[in-house]
Amino acid sequence: MSVAALHRDSKSGTLHLHLDCCRVDNDGKTNDVHDVHIRAMRAAEIINARHGWEQPQEVREMRQQDIAEFCEYTLQKMDSFDIDRYFDMLRMKGYEVKPKYDTTNGKLVGYTIGKNASVFKASAIGRKFMVSQLEATWKKMHPKPTQVKMRPASPSVSPARPARPVAQTTKPTQSNSKPLPVATKTAFNVNVGGEMKRIYIPNTVKDIFLNEVQVPDSDMTASREDISHVGMLLFLDMIDAATTVSESCGGGGSAPSSGWGKDDDEDERERARRCLQMAHAMCKPPQKRRSFHR
C-alpha cells in the first residue's frame, strides 16, 4: 500500500509531494531498492500528471528563466559595473546569492543564485552571467558612443573684400539659455496595502537605503527590499504606511511612538540609518506568547 500527500510545511512554503510506500506487494514479495530514487521521481510525475499539477522540471525551468531575465535587467540598470552592487541588487529582489572564492588566493571564481528550493550556478543561468563574462556582458549593454574623426578642411584663399562699417550698439545682449535643473531626489514605487505609492527620497541618503539594509534574520519572511521600503516610509514620516508594509511581509514589531521624527540637530544620513534599524525591528515576526496550563 502506498500513500501520497501534498505538503506546504517546508520553510519556503513551497508545495511538495510526500510518498509513503510499502516495499511488500500484495503477493507478499519484497521489492528491491534498485534505482529507488528514480522510480520514486517517476511515480511522483505520474501523480502530478493525473491531478494536472506542474511537473518539478517545468517549475525549475520557469524559475531559471525568471532569474536570467532579472540578472539581465539588473545589469542594464547599473550605471557602472560593480559586482558587489550587482549581488546586492539581486538580494534586494529576494534572491539568495552565494559567492564562491578560490581557497588559495581568495579570488572570486563563481556564484550561485536561487530562491527557496531552486538554486542554480551562474553557468546554468547563462554563460554571459558567469563571473569571467559578467563585466563584458555589462559593457555590451552600455556601449560607448563612437567618435567620428573629421578631416581638417583645407584652407582656401579668397580675395579680400573691403569691410563695411558696422554700427555698434551699447545694449547688452542677454542669453536665452537657462541652466538645466539638477535632480535632487529619486522616485521609488512602494506597495502599501495593495496600492502603489510613489515616494521621493533625497539622493544624499538614497545609497544608505539601498546598500546598508541589514540581512533579514532566518525567521523573517521580509526581504531586503521590504525592509528598505519600510525605512524610506519612516524617513518621510509616513508611519501608518510603514506599519502596513511591515505587517504585510510578516512583521509584528511595534510601530514607532508618536514622538518619532527628526531631531533638530540630527544629521540626515544618521537619521536614515536610524530609520533602517527601526524598519528591521518592525519586520520581525511577532513573538509567540507562552501559555501556562495547570
pLDDT tens digits, one per residue of 142-176:
887 766 666 666 665 556 566 666 656 555 555 56
Lowest mean pLDDT among 17-31, 57-71, 204-218, 275-289: 17-31
Q: Which three cell numbers stand for residue 85?
A: 552592487
Sheet strands (E) in the chain: 2-7, 16-21, 96-101, 108-115, 118-121, 185-192, 195-202
Angle at 261 between CA 199 and CA 237, to 5 degrees: 20
Chain segment 87-112, per-residue pLDDT in tens? 999 999 889 999 999 989 889 999 99
Distance from C-alpha of 146 to C-alpha of 87, rounded to nearest angstrom: 30
Q: pLDDT grade, residue 25 (50/70/90)?
A: confident
What is the DSSP track for 168-184?
Answer: ---SPP-----PPPPP-
What is the DSSP track for 177-207?
Answer: --PPPPP-EEEEEEEETTEEEEEEEEHHHHH
Distance from C-alpha of 36 to C-alpha of 288, rounded to nearest angstrom: 41
Distance from C-alpha of 4 to C-alpha of 115, rounded to nearest angstrom: 26
Averaged pLDDT for residues 63-72: 90
Give the per-residue pLDDT at 81.
Answer: 92
Give the per-residue pLDDT at 282.
Answer: 87
- The answer to whether the pTM exceeds 0.95 is no
Chain segment 125-144, per-residue pLDDT in tens? 899 999 999 999 999 998 87
Chain segment 69-84, per-residue pLDDT in tens? 999 999 998 989 999 9
Among 42-51, 52-61, 135-144, 150-159, the range with the most confident prediction by mean pLDDT is: 135-144
Chain segment 161-214, per-residue pLDDT in tens? 666 666 565 555 555 656 666 668 888 998 888 888 899 999 999 999 888 887
Q: pLDDT grade, residue 15 (50/70/90)?
A: low
Give the per-residue pLDDT at 153.
Answer: 62
Give the per-residue pLDDT at 137.
Answer: 93
Chain segment 219-248, per-residue pLDDT in tens? 677 888 889 999 999 999 888 888 888 888
Maximum pairwise Cα distance, the chain:
121
pLDDT at 283 over 80: yes
